[in-house]
Amino acid sequence: MTIVIEPIPAVSDLPATSLTAPDPGTETGDGSGAQRHPWWRRPGRPVWSVPARAAIFGMTALLYSWDLARVGMGNTFYAAAVKSGTESWKAFFFGSLDPGSFITVDKPPAALWVMELSGRIFGFSSWSMLLPEALAGLATVMVLYHLVRRWFGEPAAVFASLALALTPVAVVIFRYNDPDAFLTLLLVLAAWACWRAIETGRTVGLVLSAALVGLAFLTKTLDAFIVVPAIGVAYLWCGPPRLTRRLGQLGWAALALLVSSGWWVAIVELWPKSARPYIGGSTDNSELNLIFGYNGFARIFGSGGGAGAAGGATSGGSSAFGGGEGLLRMFDSELGGQISWLLPVALAGLVAGLWLTRRHRRSDSQRAGFVLWGATSSGIKAPPSISLR
């Protein structure tokens, strides 16, 4: 009896379908029996990703919007301006405190514009005024989640978004009609746009980041510019293009920042003073005086503002907005319990991250994230801590 042994076919001779089994969670192109992903699954992402994100966003929406009417009119100073803006387009544009546009509030009106448009759509009420603030908070949490996930993965995104959503002072500002809600949203969006520029090396992301900072300037003036050095340093250090191109891109971003932050100020300054309201908080009916005076150096040196100011620094060098000056001001009884309890943890994480990525290439994305967030945190903490009486 003769035994015939058939040769084993080479791997290259096997059909392609026999080499790889279809992923049980992936749909093939022909739809021939392959199992689809459930709607809550995303290829390449943890199984808990979508449920966790939905839970965080749902909780944030509920937390920020529940029983908004209980807050009442919030800051009645800005509530009066919102009501005026729903009655007069002139008051809307200038941010006037009264419908007759006799005097403005002590901030540019970008944050008021959103609340006033809501009031014009739904009618002026506590709910219509505060709803945009709550939506700004939800959007901020969503953008931060997306940004941190791209930088450091899903677990870090969950932790960061939860930390923002549940921090008590964040809950307060996103349920209140001060300009801080939209200032925070726009600055987080600016960080996202900067991150896109770092990832791609394209000018458009950097220009968009600068334009968003400029729009934030029109909510709370120089407070928005605190992040400008961080964005510039992060891109100059970690941007993919060569140095000369990075410098040119930053030049275009500076131009975008100038235009986006200055167009409204230029209109107000060029408008005849007799035909517009008095600039509240200024000493000479000038928007520039308000920017660099009451809303600028007065916040550091402790001098007061002019007519129409909502409050602020006192002549003794302390501030009605957050205690006196000093290197430890962020940890005093007024500010320490709001957010400063997170700073030691953030500092430890920053130092550890920079150390662990010290040998990474210049444009490494993980290192770039530590540079961006570290520079931003340093810039935010430094100005309130200056002690000059």
Residue 278: strand pairing partners = 103
Among all chains, which residue has been given the structure tokens 């002549």?
315
What is the per-residue pLDDT across 33-75, written as a single tens digit (0 to 9) for each?
Answer: 455 666 666 777 788 888 899 999 999 999 999 999 889 999 9
Would the pLDDT of 317 be above 70? Answer: no
Residue given tokens 């320490």 in the structure block: 336
CB burial class (10 A; 0-12, 13-18, 19+) of residue 171?
middle
pLDDT in tens, 87-113: 999 999 999 999 999 999 999 999 999
Residue 305: is its pLDDT beyond 70? no
Residue 158 sits at the vertex; the CA angle it makes with 352 and 212, to the nearest 5 degrees, is 85
Give dist(CA 162, CA 58) in Å, integer. 12
pLDDT in tens, 157-199: 999 999 999 998 899 999 999 999 999 999 999 999 999 999 9
